[in-house]
């Protein structure tokens, strides 16, 4: 069986994103269209990188409000083409069929001690479960597609101390977002203790999201990723929090869990427009 498909190519243990589209033997090699190589650095991508150099000062710091606003304005102006993407690529076609568990792929545009620029590619129905961002400020820009986002922040431990279950490692958290976003839309920002630091992504359609993370995950520096499952607070008989609808003001219990066994994430090489880094 021969068919036209596009981009990610996995050869042995090496995966990369390549700007190709040709007839191949599907039984020999599976490809998925993701990125295209750009002839030069788009102005907005370079501007984003230069701003990150100025804004992110390293672990233990949070960008001031004016810097956050400037970053949001840059990201709000960015288009898929700035990172070599197009809604015309096969991967983003609504009718694309994924067999088995949808696999999330990601590619790193740039990474240093202070920040990283990454793109996550989610096929339709793919899920990145609830996870946290310890000590991080994260800007998320949905470039293509529709995505459901559910996000929590920890509840005030003093205010709700009397409602905490004594026989569980669950912690009370307040829902900050529970809605579907469709590109183009505004950039969302989360902080170390606010803005929906614990969130989950579910792809409604094939989608791509650009994450600017400062500082990046680092197990050695105590910024490892922790996964959670959420339970309605009503499942705890000793909870005395006033009930509300599942929206802003809704509370839930979050329990730590192992990384789901069916979570498949594959790193691929970034071959889109290259950033000019003048700092040695």
Q: What is the pTM of this model?
A: 0.79
* 231: in domain: yes
Please tell me the distance from the alpha carbon of residue 208 to that of residue 140, in angstroms, as a whole number: 10
Cross-strand pairs, 256: 228
Q: By the 8 A CB rule, do 78 and 141 touch?
A: yes
Q: CB-based contacts of 204: which residues, under 8 Å, 6+ apart?
A: 124, 145, 146, 147, 148, 180
Q: Is residue 278 part of a domain?
A: no
Residue 35, in any domain of the structure: no
Residue 242 burial by Cβ neighbours in a 10 Å radius (0-12, 13-18, 19+): exposed
The answer as to whether 2 is a domain residue is no
In sequence order, what are the residues at sequence separation of 6 or more whose Cβ sits closer than 8 angstroms to the Cβ of residue 188?
Answer: 139, 140, 149, 177, 181, 195, 196
Task: Name the phi and psi angles at 21, rounded to 5.
Answer: -160, 105
Within a domain: residue 8?
no
| Residues of the chain falling short of pLDDT 50 | 1-33, 37-39, 167, 235-246, 280
**What total number of domains does the chain contain?**
1
- Can you point out the beta strands (E) in 96-136? 104-111, 116-122, 127-131
Under a CB-based contact definition with an 8 Å cutoff, are residues 254 and 229 in contact? yes
Say what the pLDDT of residue 234 is: 64
Q: Name 200's bridge partners.
A: 150
**Which residues does residue 23 pair with via DSSP β-bridges, in sequence order?**
4
- Asked if the structure places residue 3 within a domain, the reply is no
Q: Determine how many CB atoms are found less than 10 A away from the CB of residue 93.
A: 14
Residue 240 covered by a domain:
yes
Token pair, residue 53, equals 């150099």
Angle, vertex CA 201, rays to CA 33 and CA 88, nearest 5: 25
In a domain, 91, yes or no: no
Contact at 8 Å (CB) between 21 and 4? yes
Residue 106's CATH number = 2.60.120.10
Residue 133 sits in which domain range?
Answer: 40-83+102-268
CA–CA gap between residue 37 and residue 50 (Å, rounded)? 21
């Amino acid at each position: 069986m021969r068919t036209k498909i596009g981009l990610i190519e996995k050869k042995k243990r090496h995966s990369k994103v390549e700007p190709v589209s040709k007839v191949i033997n599907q039984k020999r090699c599976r490809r998925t269209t993701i990125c295209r190589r750009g002839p030069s650095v788009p102005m907005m991508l370079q501007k984003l990188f230069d701003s990150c150099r100025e804004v992110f000062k390293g672990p233990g710091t949070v960008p001031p409000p004016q810097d956050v606003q400037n970053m949001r304005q840059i990201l709000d102006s960015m288009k898929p083409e700035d990172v070599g993407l197009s809604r015309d690529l096969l991967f983003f076609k609504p009718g694309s069929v994924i067999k088995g568990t949808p696999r999330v792929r990601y590619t790193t545009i740039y990474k240093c001690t202070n920040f990283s620029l990454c793109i996550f590619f989610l096929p339709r129905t793919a899920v990145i479960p609830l996870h946290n961002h310890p000590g991080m400020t994260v800007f998320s820009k949905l470039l293509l597609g529709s995505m459901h986002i559910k996000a929590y922040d920890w509840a005030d431990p003093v205010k709700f101390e009397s409602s905490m279950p004594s026989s569980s490692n669950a912690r009370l958290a307040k829902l900050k977002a529970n809605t579907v976003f469709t590109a183009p839309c505004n950039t969302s920002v989360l902080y170390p203790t606010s803005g929906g630091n614990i969130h989950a992504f579910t792809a409604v359609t094939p989608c791509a999201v650009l994450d600017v993370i400062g500082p990046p995950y680092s197990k050695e520096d105590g910024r490892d990723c922790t996964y959670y499952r959420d339970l309605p607070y009503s499942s705890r008989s000793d909870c005395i929090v006033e009930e509300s609808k599942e929206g802003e003001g809704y509370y839930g219990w979050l329990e730590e869990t192992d990384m789901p066994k069916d979570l498949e994430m594959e790193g691929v090489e970034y071959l889109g427009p290259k950033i000019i880094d003048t700092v040695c």
